Amino acid sequence: MEREKSEQENKLKHHRVLAAKALEADLKKRSVQLEHDITILRTKNEAELTMFKTKCQQDIKDYKQYLTALDHLKSSIQSSYTHLPEAVAFTIHHHAKHLLNQLWDAKEVDQKMHHEMQLINFMTTVHEESRRYLEGTSSNPLPEKTLNLIQSKPLNSE
């Protein structure tokens, strides 16, 4: 009986040792897998962050180009309509900048497209009116179509 008990204890100890070794091996395997998964996630996140930073840098570059275009727009107005008060040219420029900011802040693609079309329409109207006035094909001393667009779309509206 003592012998059987001793054998059972030895078997139990042996099973415990085997179970501990199996558990240790499983934990090492899981640890390696977790390290691998973490490395993959880290690499993926770094790649996504790099792509996001690149996109943001491109967005900033694009925005600066738009602002430069708006400055040219203001200069075009000032050179075409030399008799206009400077405040009118600044108002036109400010409105164009507001349209640009609405475009930039839009979250949905359809909103972006809508605001982009408004900006393009506004800038095209300003350029066309300036060109016609300089060419002498317009006798209107004011960029009335441009001013009407501003009046029809006040800054506080969406």
In angstroms, rounded to a whole number, what is the distance separating the alpha carbons of residues 40 and 132? 60
Tens digits of residue pLDDT in 45-56 = 999 999 999 999
Using the predicted structure, report yes or no on whether residue 99 has a pLDDT greater than 90.
yes
Domain for residue 158, yes or no?
no
**Is residue 26 a part of any domain in this protein?**
yes
What single letter denotes the amino acid at residue 80? S
Domain count, the chain: 1
Q: What is the pLDDT of residue 156?
A: 54
d(CA 119, CA 96): 7
Q: Is residue 157 part of a domain?
A: no
Q: What is the pLDDT of residue 158?
A: 52
C-alpha pair distances (Å), 102 with each of 40, 86, 148: 38, 24, 19
- Enclosing domain of residue 23: 2-152
Would 18 be classed as within a structural domain?
yes
Neighbours of 104 (CB within 10 A): 15
Q: Is residue 48 part of a domain?
A: yes
21-74 pLDDT, tens digit per residue, is 999 999 999 999 999 999 999 999 999 999 999 999 999 999 999 999 999 989
Note the pLDDT of residue 150.
Answer: 92
| Cβ within 8 Å of residue 145, ≥6 positions away | 125, 128, 129
